[in-house]
Amino acid sequence: MIGAPEGLWATARSSHDPWRPAERRRERPERRRERPERRRERPERRRVASGVQTGRRRYHRNVADTPELQAPLIHARGLTKCFGTFTAVDGIDFDVAPGEAFGFLGPNGAGKTSTMRMIGTVSPVTSGELTVFGLDPARDGARIRARLGVVPQADTLDNELSVLENLLIYGRYFGLSWSESRRRAKELLEFVQLTERSNDKVEPLSGGMKRRLVIARSLINEPSLLLLDEPTTGLDPQARHLLWDRLYRLKQRGVTLCLTTHYMDEAEQLCDRLVVMDQAKIVAEGSPRQLIDKYVTKEVLELRFNRADNETDDSAHLGNRLEGLAERVEQLPDRVLAYTADGEAASAKAHERGLRPASVLVRRSSLEDVFLRLTGRSLVE
């Protein structure tokens, strides 16, 4: 059986995967029943599709302009996921509004993928409330999936097929005719700048190209909500920027983005609003700016000391000298972080106190600092 949505999210195909072909057949009657509703949704779907296909401006009205008029696309209260006795997601609350870019920022094992899989309806909710498009994932999985685009953490492309074929097969899964599938596939390959690789096999593509292809594949059904699990992990800076640009364009065209990342710069670039997750819980919520303003100072002075220097090797002694240097001082194994409104002034003060660091850096505070403040640990270990 060649590629298709049952591979989404899965690192290995499992008999429990709800997107297996057998279950797809069972879901068909349900899809037919929902036709009237799907017709009602068409204006929104067309707007998204037209944006992707033609870039026509009149379709680009951002639905987030009137968030108060919009019910949340995703609504979670006390959402919990357990694997046996282990709790991977522990009673989290969040809402994602139409048109926004919402992120889960957190380190390895925080529970991000477990949360995304519940939203994607491929992993049952253990307890708590979850609705997607106002629907219940347990009852309305097929209806939700029809309107979702999914970019899983691990690429699940079919290496046996060409770039174009990967999209065509996907289009067929969503019930598109071959000609419609082909039309959309061509437009999407254009959108992710892979037209020239259309007939190539997937295997030799670069990591960034594969990621772009998975994004194109996730858009074949013209979803209004795109779930992206670690969209740029492992990519080089150029590939990441290209992907960010495509995601930004999608957002401009009204597609709601819900993504996970452990890159603070990605969260800052892409997310209107995010939650910081750690050890299965949400520890903070807000826009990147709000989180920085709330939890850290405007600037950070970073001091690195030469460990061979006996005087500075004594961390207690160093601690004394750092006291009062800034609003808050963190001593990490490899550097000292002094949180202050004025990094240059703190640097001058450190010099006056006789501190002679091997390197000095004054920078703006980031979400990394927020995470450190909230958890006492660094985001990327």
Ligand X SMILES: Nc1ncnc2c1ncn2[C@@H]1O[C@H](COP(=O)(O)OP(=O)(O)OP(=O)(O)O)[C@@H](O)[C@H]1O
Nearest to 370 by CA among 103, 111, 152: 103
Instruction: State the nearest-atom distance from the C-beta of 270 to Mg ion, in Å.
Output: 17
Site string for Mg ion, 138-157 (x = CB under 5 A): ---------------x----
**Residue 15 interacts with, from Mg ion, ligand X, none (CB under 5-8 Å by kind):** none
Rounded Cα distance between 96 and 133, Å, is 10
Rounded Cα distance between 80 and 89, Å, is 5
At residue 52's C-alpha, the angle toward residues 289 and 64, to 5°, is 35
Site string for ligand X, 69-88 (x = CB under 6 A): --------------x--x-x
Instruction: State the nearest-atom distance from the C-beta of 82 to ligand X, in Å.
Output: 9
Rounded Cα distance between 180 and 93, Å, is 39
Site string for ligand X, 90-109 (x = CB under 6 A): ----------------x-xx
CB of 101 closer than 8 Å to CB of 270: yes
Q: Does 120 bind ligand X (CB under 6 A)?
A: no
Nearest to 112 by CA among 258, 210, 213, 239: 258
| Residue among 113 and 347 whose Cβ is closer to Mg ion | 113
CB count, 10 Å around CB of 86? 8
Report helix, strand or coil for 315: helix
Stretch of 16-24, 111-119, 132-140, 372-380 lying at the interface with ligand X (CB under 6 A): 111-119
| Residue among 112 and 251 whose Cβ is closer to Mg ion | 112
| Residue among 153 and 290 whose Cβ is closer to Mg ion | 153
Site string for ligand X, 144-163 (x = CB under 6 A): ---------x----------
Rounded Cα distance between 213 and 222, Å, is 15
Q: For binding to ligand X (CB under 6 A), which residues are involved?
A: 83, 86, 88, 106, 108-114, 153, 262
